[in-house]
Amino acid sequence: MTSIGPLPSSRSASAHVCIVTPGQIGSNPRVVKEADALYRAGFRISVVATQTLDQVEPRDRALMHRIPWHLDRIDLRSRWRWRLRRGIQVSLRHAHACIGVERFGDLGYSAFTMPLLIAAMRTRAELYIAHYPAALPAAAAAARRYGALYAYDAEDFHLGDWPDDPAYAMERRLVRGIEARYLPGCAYVTAAAPGIADAYCEAFDIDRPRVILNVFPLSQSPPAPTPRGTAEQGPSVYWFSQTIGPGRGLECAVRAVGLARTRPHLHLRGTPAADYGEYLKKIAVDAGAASLIHILPPDDPEKMECLAAAYDIGLVAETGHSKSRQLCLTNKLFSYLLAGVPPLMSDTAAHRKFAEETFMTDFIYPIDDVDALAGLLDQVLGDPNRLATARADAWRLGQNRYNWERESGGLVEAVNRAISAPGRIL
């Protein structure tokens, strides 16, 4: 385990908050933003995270050089130890299926839960905030041990993470069991989109979670909007994620750029999933777009907005293949706005509602409709005045509404209310 930063040695006037996540900080900007905001608000912050992927290590290290809060990284890179943990997890999953012991369900869902639980139990805090279902039993157990509170941040509607298929029945059963057990005891629940908040309220009969959007700090935006991007290969369409893979609407996008009269270049930033890069290239060849597709390397999450600003328009192409994907508003949507890049959005329930609220319904296209997306690309990229206006409008939305300076106030208020509730003694 790697520990960064001083641990508080005793209680002080400021409460100690411990954030627990199964991910790495370099691949989870929401955790980093949360920790930064609460630290600036005067809380003492510890983050329990993991160390698993070598490709994320440079981003972890870069963050570790500047974070003012304490970080515990659980090193899970040992292959034989991971196989052992995974074997135990699978055994507990089967045991839960046979005899229904709740504890087996908690530990059988994810191999991350046990190490997170051990680490969280070593960290005394007044409030534990869990990210993802794998961290929720750990946060609740630590809170129970120290007579503290725990909370939950739902970045997705996790019960709807999988397609509606019997093959995923066990995963859904385990997630439902964990969330149903622990959500009623949360001091508060936050959600990353309005639709996610509504889904949790309906599925678990809890108070509607407070919505904290996946927006980013103003310091990461360019100083002013520009009428068009600066990418050498243009007109340009941009998309980014940690992984370039299926189920993200990219096949439709590749075919659309091949069909569009404006012949735009599609720039994809991320790590291609196994064999997917070659698959996408084959689609591009068949679509007459082989020279129009560009794969870009992953980069620091805190650079995403400035990198995006170099491209004419952004793509948010969710296919809605699961309920969670129908309800989410992803990081990239808000990165585009902050960068001053108009987003072209697939017609999911969440995108449709967001577009109506922001007067961007003209930038919606039907899911996987190649002709419609090609036509929309031509409408925007083929009209320099419309493109310039759309870029200025996107930038203003990022500056005036969709930024972390505005959104983080709701998070700080939720934490303050929880730990200062009547009867709490810190």
Tell me which of 196 and 107 has the higher pLDDT: 196
pLDDT of the residue at 11: 36
- CA–CA dist 252, 397 (Å, integer): 27
In the chain, where does the domain assigned CATH 3.40.50.2000 lie? 2-214+404-419, 218-400
Identify the CATH number of the domain defined by range 2-214+404-419: 3.40.50.2000
Task: Decide if pLDDT at 346 tops 80.
Answer: yes
pTM across the whole model:
0.92
- CA–CA dist 297, 308 (Å, integer): 13
218-400 fold:
Rossmann fold (3.40.50)
Task: Decide if pLDDT at 288 tops 90.
Answer: yes
Q: How confident is the model at residue 92 (pLDDT cuts 50, 70, 90)?
A: confident
pLDDT of the residue at 2: 54
Listing from the earlier edge strand, what are the strands of the sheet with 44-51? 2-4, 70-75, 44-51, 16-20, 127-131, 149-154, 189-191, 210-211
User: 361-389 pLDDT, tens per residue?
Assistant: 999 999 999 999 999 999 999 999 999 99
Q: How confident is the model at residue 291 (pLDDT cuts 50, 70, 90)?
A: very high
User: 139-162 pLDDT, tens per residue?
Assistant: 999 999 999 999 999 999 999 998
